[in-house]
Amino acid sequence: MKSGVVLRVYGDRALVRCGQELAELRPKGSLRKEGLLAGDAVEVLGEHIVTVRPRENELGRPPVANASILLAIAAVREPAVSQGDLDRMLLQSEAQQLAPLVVLNKCDLSTEDELAAYSRPYAAAGYPVVRVSTRSGDGIEELRHALPEGIAVLAGPSGVGKSSILRALTGEDVEIGRMTHKLQRGRHTTRAATLYEVSPGRMIADTPGFSDLDLPGVAPERLAQFYPEMEDLGCRFADCWHRAEPDCAVIRAVAEGRLDVGRYRRYLEFLTELEGRPRRWR
């Protein structure tokens, strides 16, 4: 029996790396129903995957198992990734208890002021932010050094430059899209989550971009726990929704400019969105 890592899943087959060997294998019967994910740690016997080790975590979108960091890729323009979408990516990673790193790509297209205004709320919330441009090469080495051991997952809307970042880090000849200039969107160039090696022990997963992003399945009263900057304020009401409660530390911090008003307003919108969900979806 050999141990391996699933690099990519194609229908009922998977590309698996065992040591330095690559093989296309099929899961044995009983594993077929459960489904494999890129990132799965597996045991291989002959031509078959016979065991999938228990997953440390499992992302739905993008579909990757056993990630050690989520690279939330954003851009100020081409395409403009709204801060709301970045918030949603970060909420997903908080819900999975997966460390996120904000990567602001296409920095060659924006001024210093624009980049600072975009990233300030996230840096203030305690998230690491790296600015990069795959066009100029700025920030790529800094990003490389920020990657922990294990699997780093690229996440972000189509066209934001996930595959371009992967190519800059690994030299792999992955397919890069073109921007459709009328729509200022990517074209969903990458079709399946696929792992590549950055260096021994460090893998990076290219993933298909999304065009809309759900909030995690969380009860509305727990949403604030996914905002590190709100948690740090230690509102004295354990069950506070930080919405209209008198003496709420969060509301006071917003009023005094210590908490980003944009992040807070979007928090209120997300609360309303969660409250509108049927209970079984929460």
What residue 242 binds from ligand GTP, Mg ion, Zn ion, none (CB within 5 to 8 A, per partner kind)?
Answer: Zn ion
Q: Work out whether 240 is an interface residue with Zn ion (CB under 5 A).
A: yes
Q: Which of 110, 204, 104 is nearest to 148 (CA)?
A: 204
Residue 250, contacted partner among Zn ion, ligand GTP, Mg ion, none, CB below 5-8 A by kind: Zn ion
Does residue number 250 form part of the binding site for Zn ion (CB under 5 A)?
yes
DSSP 107: G
Binding segment for Zn ion (CB under 5 A), chosen from 35-43, 159-167, 231-239, 271-279, is 231-239
Q: What's the closest the beta carbon of residue 51 comes to ligand GTP, in angstroms? A: 32
**CA–CA dist 177, 165 (Å, integer):** 12
Q: Tell me the closest approach of the beta carbon of residue 67 to ligand GTP, in angstroms.
A: 17
Positions in the binding site for ligand GTP (CB under 6 A): 105-106, 108-109, 133-135, 158-164, 176-179, 186-190, 208-209
Measured from the CB atom, the residue of 39 and 62 that comes closer to Mg ion is 62
Piece of the chain touching Zn ion by CB under 5 A; list 27-35, 39-47, 83-91, 229-237: 229-237
Say which entry of Zn ion, Mg ion, ligand GTP, none residue 266 contacts (CB below 5 to 8 A, set by partner kind).
none
Residue 133 sits at the vertex; the CA angle it makes with 129 and 136, to the nearest 5 degrees, is: 145
Beta strands 13-18 and 2-10: pairing type? antiparallel
C-alpha distances (whole Å) from 85 to each of 32, 80, 210 are 34, 10, 10
Q: How far apart are CA 9 and CA 102, in angstroms?
A: 27
Q: Are 187 and 178 in contact (CB under 8 A)?
A: yes
Which residues lie near Zn ion (CB under 5 A)? 235, 240, 242, 248, 250
